[in-house]
Structure 1
Amino acid sequence: MSKKDIGETKVTNAVDNAEEKAETAVKTRNFKKLKYGSMFYIIIALVIAIVVVLNIMASIMSKRSPMKIDITPDSRYELTEQSVNAVKALKKDVDIVVTSERNYFEQIGNYYERVAAQNGNAIELPFEIIPELLDKYSLYAEKGDGSINVKYVDMDKDPDIVNKYKENYSGDIAHNNIIVSSGDRVEVITESDWMNMLMPDQSTMSFSFVGESTITSAIMNVTDANPIRVAFVKTMNGASICNDDTYSGVVSSFENLLLAKNGYDCTDIDIAIEELDPEKYDMVVIYAPSVDFTEPVINKLDAFLKNNGKNGKSMIYVPDYSKTNLPNIDEFLADWSIKVENNLIIDEKNADMSAANIMLNVNDPDAIGKLANEKLPIIAPLSRELTAISKNNEDVVKEVLKSCDESYPVDLKDMQTVTGEAGARTVLMISQKSHSEQLKTVTSSLLVLGSSFMPNNTYLTQNAAYNNANVLLSTINTMTGKEGSVIVPDKNLQQSFITMTTKQARNIQIIVVWVIPFLIAVVGIIVLLRRRNK
């Protein structure tokens, strides 16, 4: 082979090698493009799949537990343990129909805040707590056997939704009401009611939210298959049995805030004129009578509790703190082995602001049952001493609440003369008479409360500070056999936090849910594209 041929061969081989290398480089670049391109689409597919799976999981979890996290210092948007346990234990379905738009609650709060600001007052009225809590009721109820369905309706556009509740409700149903129903039982929380759920504390210029107890009680009441029917004695022959100037407020609190609010069906009666029918009533209440009862009235009370020998009835008697000459009533109480002494209990060491507002201890836990917070004080203002009378009968007398060991009695006449030594004295007593029939024992009970001011508005509503409401309701529930009532502690709302309007909350939601994920996705795509083109 000539040098020329050899040179041409080398050139040909060099060209072939160059073409082969170029082809190999092209294949390598194409492989890399295919590799990075495939990875790009695989990653996109994985991201989409993860987002879909997370959304499905979030949807499932939202039905089982609340997805919103309450980070407020007072836990205003979260239900208390008492309410959570109550709705989880539901056996029935409950409908809650709100006759307004959901955002009306926030709007009305904003309106009054602006009015207050114009007058130079900076206050916060977070009525939006109410729809937020209604959501929580619905979510927690899903964990039990029952359900709570919340709906917001326009009465003008859909009146038929509201009309069906009027069949079982004697009052008026108006705009901005909250209707709570189960079966044929209906309760209505009016606009005035829920606006009063925010109670001002003038000393601290803050608010307490008392609405949760109202809503929880309404739910418990409409699901109670066997409510206790109460004959509340207000008059005798048309005249009030008590001094209205002294007791009208506390009687109203006892009847409405303690009994009616917690599922007791109360009916005011005239004890001399109306029937006290055991078939119609389960319990009778006599509150602070300032006049003695006639013999026929005493016989009526006796017959009610005996129930034709079948027993099974209850009575609550609360004496006036200053009335002593009531011989017929005293004789009736003596038949139940109870005496109301003519003295008041004083305690300078264990009291609330006044030596006459004595603190009590639980002497018979079984008669009360379990309390949510046993550390809260029990206050009994102007309490008369109760003593058990030893008689030849089978009465079972329980001394439920007693004063502290440092307490002592003073005479009612001058409120100063000491009539006994220091020592614990009974303030709440229960006497029971039982009847056995076919291996079944049926009991009638008489509860006597020595302090007529123990269930006043202050001590009942401030249930986060005092145990009066819990103790009285639990004792009455235990005595009557009623189940389902619960005292929900109020929430003291703190003012040092950031609030948002609906528009601000919506903007934050858009940023968090859409804008931030979109920016992250864009950055990710740019990075992937740059890697793919390398």
Structure 2
Amino acid sequence: MAKKTAKESILQEKPVKSPKVKVRLDERFKSLKSISILSIVLVVAICIVFNLIIDMTLDKKLTFDSTSVRSNSVSSMTSDYLETLDKKVEIYGLFDKNDNSLEWREYFIPILDDYEAKANGMIELKYIDPDVDPFIISQLDPNNVYGLQKDIYVVKSGDMLVPVDPYSCFEYDQDVARYYGVGMPIANNVERIFTTDIVYVTSGRPLHAYYLDGHTLPEHKNMDNILMSLGFVTSNLALKGDSAKIPDDCELLLILQPKTDLTLLEKEQVKTYLDNAGKVLIVCDFSDNKTTEYPNLNDVAKRMGISLEPGIIHENDLDHLVDVSDPFRSIANPTETYAKTVAIPSEYSVENCRYIKALRDLPQDVVVSPLVVSSSTASVDFQNSQIDADVSAGMHPVVLWAVDSSTTDMACLITIGTQSFTSDTYYSGKTLEDNNAVFIRSLIHEICPIEFDFLVPQRKIPSYTLSKPLSSSSATFWSFVVMTVIPVGSLACGIIIYHRRRHL
């Protein structure tokens, strides 16, 4: 037999099996692994449960308002009032809460959540879409008194109900509306309106103010807001027909800038209202009504010792003029006597002020007092060059207050010769903290039995328009920097860094 070479012997050798070694697993490792997994699951479960509990109990109380004008939370004034609320109030949103097509919803949902959170359970907020529940409108208003419809709010307490149109909760720029025909909101009155409506539906007897209609009544949204801040509900009143009368619940009758004279029926009704201790506010300036005569309206004013004259106050003191080229736009001041009795501003804007005066022979028991006057050098320009020999340069009244003490509660007539205290045109771009608004609000508070009295702050809608637009050269320069220099510089830096570090 031939001998095997060493190589063949090695190849034919059977492989030697290594002895089996029993690997002992570390029991502590298994235990730690199980504990780690269990701990992770437990921590996740605790976080989920904790978040659910917080969401169900403290969700709205832990919400923070980061808006610049605090538009998502109620003011301290409303918050204090909500703490005293003793009647249940329901606020219904008649729309789909998640409908993003409603452009105004972001101004309402957060702040109404805050109402609910701070009312200690006395306010309940509900969102019900009439398309989903078509019976909700008939349930809220069975007799169709309020004409409820989709996409509005309803404030309700017991049998009292107030519909709220979201678009009426904003103040719009009158100039933009006049020239472009679109509504551009400049202020947010959501809190002011909802707080006032809550007061109304929870009060036993709300105050009513009526605007005399039928004589081209001007827009009066700002007066509505002033009256609402005092707890009034406002309505237009048309006195037509033999059975027409001023309602018994009328606490204040407003006759604003009539384009035509009162009818005989209206004259007698207003005089009867004054005889029964009524409160009347007349505003009649000299801008659009230069040739209009008001014998019936004047007869009402004379019942309280005041006369409306066909003349306009001409301000001669340059320090009192808003524009030195326009003597009919001026600054008026409260009388020294009146300023001592109430805390009011010391200056008011006046435009196209009609000459009004107290009669020499006042009716019995009637007292007439000037509240706001011109400078001591103002004169009067009369229509058709008419000259009143009794009128000379001097201090002339802008606002007169007449009181008849012969009636039980004292009848009162406020006569204002300018619409700068009441018109939407004047308040365009201004807030209800304007001096004129503060004055008229204070005056109404004095003559009417006001119980609710606080002015919820108005929220200005922030404007992000550049106050100083860039010039064309500056705009070109910055466009070049942003669109060329920065991108090219970033690309160059990237290339340089890549070449230096690619071999690392």
**87, 105, 129: which one aligns with 1:92:** 87
CA-to-partner distance for each residue in 1:72-131, whole Å, 9 max, x for gaps?
A: 333332334554455455443321111123232x4444xxxxxxxxxxxxxxxx741221
Measured in 1, the distance between the counterparts of 2:348 and 2:122 equals: 36
Which residue of 2 is the match for residue 326 of structure 1?
294
- Matching of residue 79 in structure 1 with residue 49 in structure 2: no
Which residue of 2 is the match for residue 136 of structure 1?
114
The answer as to whether partners of 1:199 and 1:210 remain within 8 angstroms in 2 is: no
Which residue of 2 is the match for residue 455 of structure 1?
422
Which residue of 2 is the match for residue 227 of structure 1?
206
Which residue of 2 is the match for residue 434 of structure 1?
405
Deviation of 1:291 after TM superposition, in Å, equals 4.9
Measured in 1, the distance between the counterparts of 2:414 and 2:265 equals: 21
Within-5 A mapping of 1:191-202: 192-193=167-168
Within-5 A mapping of 1:371-390: 374=345, 378-389=348-359
The answer as to whether partners of 1:317 and 1:448 remain within 8 angstroms in 2 is: yes
CA-to-partner distance for each residue in 1:409-434, whole Å, 9 max, x for gaps?
A: 331327999963354x3322221223
Measured in 2, the distance between the counterparts of 1:162 and 1:206 equals: 30
Computed over aligned residues only, the root mean square deviation of the Cα atoms, in angstroms, reads 4.7
Return 5+ residue gaps in structure 1 as ranges.
1-29, 31-40, 110-125, 236-241, 498-534
Structure 1 residue ranges, 4+ long, deviating more than 6 angstroms after superposition: 44-63, 414-418
Q: 1:355 to 1:95 in 2, by over 3 A?
A: farther
What SS is found at the alignment partner of 1:495?
coil
Which piece of structure 1 moves more, 468-477 or 52-61? 52-61
What SS is found at the alignment partner of 1:92?
coil
Deviation of 1:188 after TM superposition, in Å, equals 1.6
CA-to-partner distance for each residue in 1:461-486, whole Å, 9 max, x for gaps?
A: 52156233343234224312133364
Q: 1:234 to 1:172 in 2, by over 3 A?
A: closer
Deviation of 1:317 after TM superposition, in Å, equals 1.9
Which residue of 1 is the match for residue 270 of structure 2?
301
Q: 1:326 to 1:482 in 2, by over 3 A?
A: same
**380, 393, 405: which one aligns with 1:410:** 380
The answer as to whether partners of 2:373 and 2:397 remain within 8 angstroms in 1 is: yes
- Matching of residue 421 in structure 1 with residue 393 in structure 2: yes
Q: 1:168 to 1:84 in 2, by over 3 A?
A: farther
Which residue of 1 is the match for residue 244 of structure 2?
275
Q: 1:420 to 1:225 in 2, by over 3 A?
A: farther
The answer as to whether partners of 2:94 and 2:152 remain within 8 angstroms in 1 is: yes
Percent identity between matched residues is 18
Which residue of 1 is the match for residue 464 of structure 2?
495
Which residue of 1 is the match for residue 436 of structure 2?
468
Q: 1:333 to 1:192 in 2, by over 3 A?
A: closer
The answer as to whether partners of 2:271 and 2:303 remain within 8 angstroms in 1 is: no
Return 5+ residue gaps in structure 2 as ranges.
1-27, 29-37, 467-504
Measured in 2, the distance between the counterparts of 1:401 and 1:61 equals: 52
The count of aligned residue pairs is 417
Measured in 2, the distance between the counterparts of 1:267 and 1:453 equals: 21
Within-5 A mapping of 1:98-247: 98-104=93-99, 106-109=100-103, 127-142=105-120, 147-167=122-142, 170-190=145-165, 192-193=167-168, 207-212=185-190, 213-235=192-214, 242=215, 244=216
Measured in 2, the distance between the counterparts of 1:487 and 1:355 equals: 36
Q: 1:273 to 1:392 in 2, by over 3 A?
A: closer
Measured in 1, the distance between the counterparts of 2:265 and 2:154 equals: 43
**226, 233, 237: which one aligns with 1:264:** 233
Measured in 2, the distance between the counterparts of 1:50 and 1:260 equals: 47
Deviation of 1:152 after TM superposition, in Å, equals 1.2
What SS is found at the alignment partner of 1:427?
strand
Measured in 1, the distance between the counterparts of 2:246 and 2:175 equals: 44
| TM-score computed with the length of structure 2 as normaliser | 0.66
CA-to-partner distance for each residue in 1:376-418, whole Å, 9 max, x for gaps?
A: x643321224333353632233433334x36613313279999
What SS is found at the alignment partner of 1:349?
helix
Q: Which has the larger radius of gyration?
A: 2
Within-5 A mapping of 1:42-61: none
Indicate the structure with greater helix content: 1
Measured in 1, the distance between the counterparts of 2:415 and 2:239 equals: 21
CA-to-partner distance for each residue in 1:51-90, whole Å, 9 max, x for gaps?
A: 9999989987767xx4322233333323345544554554
